[in-house]
């Protein structure tokens, strides 16, 4: 599989209309638009440009999400009731399974890095496997394909 470097001027990315679940909207009629810029070859992570118009809504994070605000302003209230302002240059991390309330007085544009969360023991094993591959000099190879090849080779004995 070939790999390509992806670049973008984030202010110029053309976004497409997207849907927010209607029962998440608390106030106003926030309209969202987004564009997935890239998905990793293992399909566990995406980078998305996302924007929203004025309004308030409750957001549930199904994946780990790191956000970097490009423009606009947003006020996030976490599960404990603490509010935090997000503006250009700010970032936040929202673990999968968390919920918060967002309020935007006008528009809000961000880059989001979305990552599938993994069961901790599985993640530890995956990191250990990658470390072994680096130590034995197979660093550039796909760890999952090498594991599959090793398992298939072992079973054919």
98 shares its domain with 142: no
95 shares its domain with 134: no
Q: Where are the alpha helices (DSSP H) in the chain?
A: 120-135, 143-155
69 shares its domain with 98: yes
Q: Domain span at residue 127?
A: 120-155
| Residue 16 Rama label (left phi>0; alpha psi -120 to 50; beta) | beta
33 shares its domain with 107: yes
81 shares its domain with 44: yes
**What's the structural domain count of the chain?**
2
| Cα–Cα distances in angstroms (integers) from residue 153 to residues 57, 90, 103, 144, 148, in the given order | 52, 49, 55, 14, 8
Query: pLDDT-based confidence at 150, cuts 50/70/90?
Result: low
16 shares its domain with 46: yes
Q: In what order do the strands lie in the sheet with 55-60?
A: 25-27, 55-60, 99-104, 74-77, 83-86
87 shares its domain with 149: no
54 shares its domain with 107: yes
Q: Which residue has the higher pLDDT, 20 or 41?
A: 20
31 shares its domain with 108: yes
In a domain, 5, yes or no: no
In a domain, 1, yes or no: no
- The pLDDT value recorded for residue 1 is 45
Q: What is the pLDDT of residues 21-60, one digit of tens each?
A: 999 999 999 999 999 999 988 888 999 999 999 999 999 9
- The pLDDT value recorded for residue 20 is 93
Q: Which residues contact 137 (CB under 8 A, 6 or more apart)?
A: none
Q: Which two three-digit tokens encode residue 85? A: 């302002």
Q: Which residues contact 108 (CB under 8 A, 6 or more apart)?
A: 51, 52, 69, 71, 72, 73, 74, 86, 102
Q: Which two three-digit tokens encode residue 29? A: 């009629």
- Overall average pLDDT of the 11-29 stretch: 94
69 shares its domain with 101: yes
Q: What is the pLDDT of residues 72-118, one digit of tens each?
A: 999 999 999 999 999 999 999 999 999 999 999 999 999 999 998 87
- Overall average pLDDT of the 8-31 stretch: 94
Q: What is the CATH number of the domain that holds 43?
A: 2.60.120.10
């Amino acid at each position: 599989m070939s790999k390509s470097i992806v670049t973008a001027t984030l202010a110029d990315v053309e976004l497409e209309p997207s849907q927010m679940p209607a029962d998440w909207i608390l106030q106003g009629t926030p309209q969202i638009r987004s564009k997935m810029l890239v998905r990793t070859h293992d399909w566990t992570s995406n980078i998305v440009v996302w924007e929203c118009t004025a309004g308030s809504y409750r957001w549930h994070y199904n994946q780990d999400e790191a956000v970097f605000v490009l423009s606009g302003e947003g006020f996030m209230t976490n599960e404990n009731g603490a509010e935090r302002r997000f503006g250009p240059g700010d970032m936040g991390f929202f673990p999968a399974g968390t919920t918060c309330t967002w309020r935007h007085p006008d528009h809000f544009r961000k880059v989001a890095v979305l990552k599938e969360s993994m069961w901790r023991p599985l993640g530890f094993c995956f990191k250990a496997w990658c470390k072994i591959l680096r130590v034995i000099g197979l660093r550039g190879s796909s760890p999952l394909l090498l594991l599959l090849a090793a398992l298939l080779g072992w079973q054919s004995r």
